[in-house]
Amino acid sequence: MEDRKPFSLAALVFVFAPLAILFALLFFLVYQNLDYVINGERLDTVVTGKSERQVDSRPRESKPATALYLHFRYPSPRFTGYFETASELAPLIYWLYDEGDEIGVYYQLNQSPQVVIAAPLQFWRMPLLALFFLVLYLPVGINCWHRGGRSRELKFALAVTVAGLAFYSVSEFTAHRALQEQMAVEKQAEQYWRHWPAFESANPKPPWWHSVPLGRYNPLQGNLQPYYSFNERMYQGKPEHPGMIRYKVAYAKMLELQDDPAAMIGWLCQGRYAEMLPLYEFYFQQFYTTDWEVDCDYDCSNESTITGLAADIAALRLDLGDIDRAQQVLDRVYHDKYSGASPYSQYQWLYEQTRLLMNTRGTSAARARIDQDRHALMQRLQQLGLKKHLKKTRDLFRFPFRPLGIHGDGPVRYRAEPPAADSA
């Protein structure tokens, strides 16, 4: 009977373990790519630019490496008419595309990154690289097996690999199953929500609604304190879909509080996320003429709320390049609500009106339109002792403003009137 050779740790560590790792890596990369293809959405995008970035290398005397990036913008499935920008390290296809060329991407809401270039050479580069090293290293393993008869080491490495892949597959299946069960519970709970035909017809649930869970949070708990706690946990967890989550919560609370605009606004004002724009505009139109006021630490009134909300709407509309609609909202509020708004809401209005004018007509035109209201607000802030807001208002023209149309479907068409010469 042939003597069995002792277990070789060297053969396991230097031969069979690397083979097992390469095989597991190949499995993971292919699995991830297939998730983009099967569960994702293919979008047609345009290359907006190319860049070469110097990457520091070691040792210091060596030349720095160059990273080649493609930049593109794509129509976001999160919000109709909203475009987002992204970039990807793409050395293999960098020279095949120029600015303005069309390029396909895959969008997968629950993947990281959410967007990847779909060009085959770029999309499959990592699985192909793993396969290359696996094929390159495979003869070493075969040779070691035949020469040394290390069947036990190979079996051990294969067993660990299969166990790891099985664990990964089961964990992915379990996570997917848990998500489905959670969404089923939320969908069942939604049957007990109140109905508001005008609101629901104007704001149908978006396609991603049943792909973004709220966790264990119940949006109908009744007051803001549990929501603040939920927000704190959500920020700590760095969620991938903060705008979508806030949209779902605000949507539910607007249904529940449809007869109480004062209570509703506390749930609605959740930041300038593109998803929130339809809800902001619905509230703006629905409760523009409704008078209400509640006791709070700051000026909680219809005038302040509508003025601040108009600034949020204008900011998001300017991001989309919709200058005329943003100006209409700002003008309407200025004539009806601005004088009775709180200083903070007035500053928000001033900022967005200045941003619009600075980008379309220049500094002189912006000053001519804004300065009188700006100085009036500064006097009010000084009387109230609000030094921080006073400094922001005084320095309004000292900082650059965000460009217009950065999330629109094309370049912004500026007005024919040329910008006025800047004044000091």
Q: What is the pLDDT of residue 4?
A: 47
Q: Is residue 406 part of a domain?
A: no
**pLDDT band (50, 70, 90) for residue 422:** very low
> Which range among 46-55, 258-267, 284-293, 377-386 has the greatest average pLDDT?
377-386
Helix (H) / strand (E) containing 389: helix 387-394
**pLDDT band (50, 70, 90) for residue 235:** very low
Q: What is the pLDDT of residue 289?
A: 87
Task: Give yes or no for residue 182 having a pLDDT over 90.
Answer: no
Q: 222 and 149 share a domain? A: no
* Residue recorded with tokens 């601040």: 308
Q: What is the pLDDT of residue 313?
A: 95
Q: Is residue 182 part of a domain?
A: no
Q: What is the pLDDT of residue 423?
A: 41
Q: Is residue 90 part of a domain?
A: yes
Q: What is the pLDDT of residue 221?
A: 66
Q: Is residue 180 part of a domain?
A: no
Look up the CATH number of the domain holding residue 216: 1.25.40
pTM, rounded to two decimals: 0.78
**Residue range 42-65: average pLDDT?**
75
Instruction: Say if CB 280 and CB 247 are below 8 A apart.
Output: no
Q: Which of the listed residues 122, 141, 173 is the one where a domain comes to its end? A: 173
In terms of Cα–Cα distance, which of 319, 245, 316, 311 is closest to 277?
316
Q: 215 and 165 share a domain? A: no
Predicted confidence (pLDDT) per residue in 109-164, tens digit: 878 788 999 999 999 998 898 888 777 777 766 666 555 555 555 566 566 666 76
Q: Is residue 348 part of a domain?
A: yes
Task: Give yes or no for residue 105 having a pLDDT over 70.
Answer: yes
Q: What is the pLDDT of residue 330?
A: 96
**Residue range 22-34: average pLDDT?**
86
Domain residue limits at 23: 9-173
Q: What is the pLDDT of residue 225?
A: 52
**Residue range 346-356: average pLDDT?**
94
Report the first-to-last Cα separation within the chain, whole angstroms.
98
Q: 103 and 223 share a domain? A: no
Q: 71 and 165 share a domain? A: yes
Q: 55 and 168 share a domain? A: yes
**pLDDT band (50, 70, 90) for residue 356:** very high
Task: Give yes or no for residue 252 having a pLDDT over 60.
Answer: yes
Q: 141 and 254 share a domain? A: no
Task: Give yes or no for residue 393 having a pLDDT over 60.
Answer: yes
Q: What is the pLDDT of residue 101?
A: 92
**Residue range 99-106: average pLDDT?**
92
Q: Is residue 89 part of a domain?
A: yes
Q: 371 and 247 share a domain? A: yes
Q: 242 and 311 share a domain? A: yes
230 compared with 3, residue with greater pLDDT: 230
**Residue range 99-112: average pLDDT?**
88
Q: What is the pLDDT of residue 286?
A: 92
Q: What is the pLDDT of residue 279?
A: 94
Q: 164 and 266 share a domain? A: no
Q: Is residue 245 part of a domain?
A: yes
**pLDDT band (50, 70, 90) for residue 184:** confident
How far is residue 391 from each of residues 272, 307, 364, measured CA to CA in Å? 23, 21, 21
Per-chain mean pLDDT for the chain: 80
63 compared with 267, residue with greater pLDDT: 267
Q: 159 and 259 share a domain? A: no
What is the token pair recorded at 302? 């219809």
Within 8 A by CB and 6+ apart from 63, the residues are 57
156 compared with 332, residue with greater pLDDT: 332
**Total domain count for the chain?**
2
**Burial degree of 395 (CB within 10 A; 0-12, 13-18, 19+):** exposed
Q: 164 and 207 share a domain? A: no
Q: What is the pLDDT of residue 409?
A: 72
Q: Which of the listed residues 116, 144, 173 is the one where a domain comes to its end? A: 173
Residue 98, Cα to own-chain centre: how many angstroms? 26
In terms of Cα–Cα distance, which of 211, 312, 230 is closest to 265?
312
Predicted confidence (pLDDT) per residue in 186-234, tens digit: 888 888 888 999 999 999 998 888 888 876 677 776 555 555 555 555 5
Q: 130 and 51 share a domain? A: yes
In terms of Cα–Cα distance, which of 420, 236, 269 is closest to 344?
269
Q: Is residue 286 part of a domain?
A: yes
Predicted confidence (pLDDT) per residue in 359-386, tens digit: 998 888 899 999 999 999 999 999 988 8
Strand intervals (E) in 242-394: 293-294, 300-301
Q: What is the pLDDT of residue 237?
A: 47
| SS3 state of residue 297 | coil
**pLDDT band (50, 70, 90) for residue 31:** confident
